[in-house]
Amino acid sequence: MLAPIDERRPMKDTDLQTLADAYAFIGNSLLKPMTQTEPVGLDPAFWDAFPDFGSAEVAAAVGACRAFAEEAQDRNAVGEDMVERVSMEFTKLFVGPPSPSAPPWETMNREEGVTVGFGQPTFAMQDILRDMGLRVSNENNQYADHMGIELLALSEMCRRAEGDALPESAVAFIEARPAGWAPALHGKVHEAYPGGYFDSLLTLAEALLQVR
């Protein structure tokens, strides 16, 4: 079963297992609003402990996420509910109504003007999950080509890998699936909420997808 990973448990020691945790955190964050998850992304200490995997791009993205968390703490201190604010951002971007500003499905990001959420990428992801012995299990019945689900699948690939390097199959998956359309999704998020929580989070996702 493809199920959410508990964001609160400590990172593991090996790089691939730590990378798996990083992908799982972002994947889960894209599947549920913060009101339904642990709000660790608004804690600067969480980002202080977040690894950069030796990547300057990841380090810069983590720094931006930490800066957002610091600002969130300041705004909470003057009475603003930042968990609610980020959850409203999530709804506006990925749910709607009337429709999501940044549809989180691969099918709707591969080609301009595509407004249906079930296409060839959905079938491809269903096959990948089936081959991995996984299935989508969530109350919202998300399409399998949701960015959060693709990142959770990648997280599982990292967990199952042997040795210290990503297997070629995982690298091929990254290039064929999430890395191929993450910029399109991020562009829509940035246009709708520049400087928002998910703008920073998807900057981090794109940087992590370059880690090998």
pLDDT tens digit string along 113-151? 666 667 899 999 999 999 999 887 766 678 999 999 999
Decide if pLDDT at 97 tops 60. yes
- Sort 168 into a burial class: Cβ within 10 Å, 0-12 / 13-18 / 19+: exposed
Q: 117-124 long-range CB contacts below 8 Å, 24 or more apart?
A: 117/143, 118/143, 119/145, 121/145, 121/177, 124/177
Contacts of 159 (CB under 8 A, 6+ apart): 16, 17, 20
Global pTM value: 0.90
**What's residue 200's pLDDT?**
98
For 88, the enclosing helix (H) or strand (E) is: helix 82-94
**What's residue 135's pLDDT?**
80
Nearest to 61 by CA among 175, 182, 208: 208
Dist. CA 126–CA 1, nearest whole Å = 13
The DSSP code for 10 is P
**What's residue 14's pLDDT?**
55
Average pLDDT over residues 85-94: 98
Assess contact for 108 and 143: CB atoms under 8 A: no
Q: Is 136 helix (H, G, I), strand (E, B) or coil?
A: strand
Output Rg (C-alpha) for the chain, integer angstroms: 16
The DSSP code for 154 is H
